[in-house]
Amino acid sequence: MGGNPATGNGYVFYIDQNATTDVTRDWVVVGGQTSADINRSVGEANTTDKDSNHESEFLATNKEGECTMDNLIELDDTGWQEMEAVHESRTIRYWYYTRSDGTIKYFKAIVRELNMSGPQDDVATASVTLRVTGGFLATEPA
């Protein structure tokens, strides 16, 4: 088989601290990350017609994406504070993630969900969902 499988801790998310899109990016890692999932999909349009011989036919449409990460809540972490502020303001922000093989993907997203749990006598955690707007890019946006 071969190949180079990514390790489970191989995804690390960064957020751009600059709120405007016309300035130099100011990347900061979101602290406390323990795991991540990246879900990419393509929409579809059904193009089945009378000439389809009773078989469904589809065309690919919009790219979609969602990223989720589990975190330890680090209240004094700059990246955590920025992510929480973006959620509160409901704004779109630039993000990127790195993979263990060095691959980087840039994207714009909103913080759709920020679920926090603080059990008594245990570490506070959060589950975060980023809703990607547009696609994933291999190069840093201008």
How far out from the chain centre does Cα 134 lie? 12
**What does pLDDT average to over the chain?**
86
* Cβ neighbour number for residue 30 with a 10 Å cutoff: 23
Side chain identity at residue 4, one-letter code? N
62 bridge partner residues: none
Beta-carbon contacts of 24 under 8 Å, excluding residues fewer than 6 positions away, are: 18
* Cβ neighbour number for residue 8 with a 10 Å cutoff: 10
- What confidence tens digit (pLDDT) does each residue in 19-31 have? 766 667 889 999 9
What domains are defined for the chain? 12-137 (4.10.410.40)
* Cβ neighbour number for residue 75 with a 10 Å cutoff: 10
pLDDT value, residue 1: 45
